[in-house]
Structure 1
Amino acid sequence: MTVHIGAKVGDIAETVLMPGDPLRAKWAAETFLDAPRLVNEVRGMLGYTGTYKGNPVTIHGSGMGMPSLSIYANELIRDFGAKTLIRIGSCGGMQPHVKIRDVIIAMSATSLNTPSMGLFREVNFAPTADWALLRAAVTAAEAMGQTPHVGGIYSSDVFYDERPDLTEQMTRHGILGVEMEAAELYTVAARLGARALAVLTVSDHLQTGEALPSSEREQSFGDMVQIALDAAFPA
């Protein structure tokens, strides 16, 4: 048990999927895991542990933004022995060829600022995904008939961004999409010796203004969860 996670020793699996929304963690656990059980509800941040094809899996919310995710990623790895952490979440598309409902698998995560930045001082650390996880996720997506986008994303530390010039430069430099957590996840995992990946569904688009209707989100997000699970446990 830690300050933010009320689970007991052994309640958390070595593989953890991390959606931002705790209710999405509940939905994913009840939809994809066998015998899911609630292992954390401190501060309303729900975590469930069950099995997927016989493999123990925890699906635990991370909250919104890098500071919140940093708390949970640190505690999950350091105090509960998590070894593989996969963010599953939504993002905004930034390139014309990236469409609503598409899946982005983040090879790297650019950021303006992260909770870990103070550790590096003058160094610009480049947060990147675990290669084996990334490769397995691409294979899993292709097996489902998907053609995922693989490349860099931007982890923003603000939701209501008032820097159109920054968005323009991210797009100009080939960034596929924007979200708010992956850069810190990759950094914490690198620091603590864990594997990390972000598998994202494009729910809206910064250039076109399109947004995925709520009625269609579940199926699209379901594909993302399936990809993450099959990447963690490749056949």
Structure 2
Amino acid sequence: MSAHIEAKKNEIAETVLMPGDPLRAKWIAETFLDNVYCYSKIRGMLGYTGEFKGQRISIQGSGMGIPSAMIYYHELINDYDVKRIIRVGTAGSYQEDVKIRDIVLALSASTNSGINNAIFNDFNYAPTADFNLILKAALYAQENNILIKAGNILSSDLYYEEDPMAYKKWAKYGVLCAEMESAGLYTIAAKHNIEALTILTISDSMVTGEKCSFEERERTFKEMVQIALNICED
């Protein structure tokens, strides 16, 4: 056991898919995996291991925001020897051509978080995804006629901005959408030399005001999960 995950050492696979919502973790595990078992329920942050096409895969909730997610990233890597983490989450669009239910591959993750300032002081570190996972995801999407967008995203510490138009500055510089975890994932993955990628489904739009329902956020968005699962082969 680690401090926040009650799994035994061999109960977590080397590849872990990580939604923020633990109920989405449950849905993914029960919908896509065979021979599934739940290895952790601590703090309601559910974790599961099963098989997809004969390969062991784990699904672990991370909670919302970099501080919560970093706890699970750290323990998975350091206590359970995880080698590949793929975040599967939702995001809010910052661009007119990035629409509800579009899939985004996060090539890099800008952030307003102070996490990397604490590490690099006055320097700006650019957290980026693993190229091999990006390539696999793009090829799988192309071969299966799944439309994707790829580019820079924002990992924000703020879900509710003081200024509702603040997103426009990020949008002006090409940021596709906002979520809350990926800059932390890409930074810790680089430190420990593991593979990491974030695949997002657009659940709402700052541009149009459209929003998906809570049920859609929790139990749909199958294409992003299919991409993630099908790029996990070693």
Place the TM-score, normalised by the shorter chain, in its bin.
Answer: over 0.9
Matches within 5 A, 1:29-48: 29-48=29-48
Alignment deviations for residues 182-206 of structure 1 (CA, whole Å, 9 cap, x no partner): 0100001111111100000001000
**Cα pair 1:95 1:176 within 8 Å, conserved:** yes
Alignment deviations for residues 38-68 of structure 1 (CA, whole Å, 9 cap, x no partner): 0111111100001111111000000000000
Q: Which moved more, 1:212-221 or 1:56-65?
A: 212-221
Partners of 2:144 and 2:42 in 1: how far apart? 36
Alignment-derived partner of residue 103 in structure 2: 103
Alignment-derived partner of residue 204 in structure 1: 204
Partners of 1:230 and 1:46 in 2: how far apart? 22
TM norm structure 2: 0.96
Question: Which letter maps to 2:98?
Answer: V
Q: Secondary structure at the match of 1:127?
A: coil
TM norm structure 1: 0.95
Alignment-derived partner of residue 93 in structure 1: 93
Percent identity between matched residues is 48
Q: How many aligned residue pairs are there?
A: 234
Alignment deviations for residues 46-98 of structure 1 (CA, whole Å, 9 cap, x no partner): 00001111111000000000000000000000110000000001000111111
Alignment-derived partner of residue 169 in structure 1: 169
Alignment-derived partner of residue 186 in structure 2: 186
Partners of 1:194 and 1:161 in 2: how far apart? 33
Alignment deviations for residues 87-139 of structure 1 (CA, whole Å, 9 cap, x no partner): 00100011111111100000000001143431111111000000000111111
Partners of 1:215 and 1:15 in 2: how far apart? 26
Alignment-derived partner of residue 130 in structure 1: 130
**Cα pair 2:93 2:204 within 8 Å, conserved:** yes
Q: Would you say 1:8 and 2:8 are equivalent positions?
A: yes
Matches within 5 A, 1:8-87: 8-87=8-87
Shift of 1:141: 1.7
Partners of 1:27 and 1:179 in 2: how far apart? 20
Q: CA RMSD in A?
A: 1.5
Alignment deviations for residues 139-167 of structure 1 (CA, whole Å, 9 cap, x no partner): 12222311200100000001111134531
**Cα pair 2:51 2:57 within 8 Å, conserved:** yes
Question: Which letter maps to 2:61?
Answer: G
Structure 2 stretches of 5 or more lacking a match? none
Alignment-derived partner of residue 157 in structure 1: 157
**Cα pair 2:95 2:177 within 8 Å, conserved:** yes
Partners of 1:214 and 1:6 in 2: how far apart? 28
**Cα pair 2:93 2:177 within 8 Å, conserved:** yes
Matches within 5 A, 1:102-121: 102-121=102-121
Structure 1 stretches of 5 or more lacking a match? none
Partners of 1:219 and 1:3 in 2: how far apart? 29
Question: Which letter maps to 1:170?
Answer: W
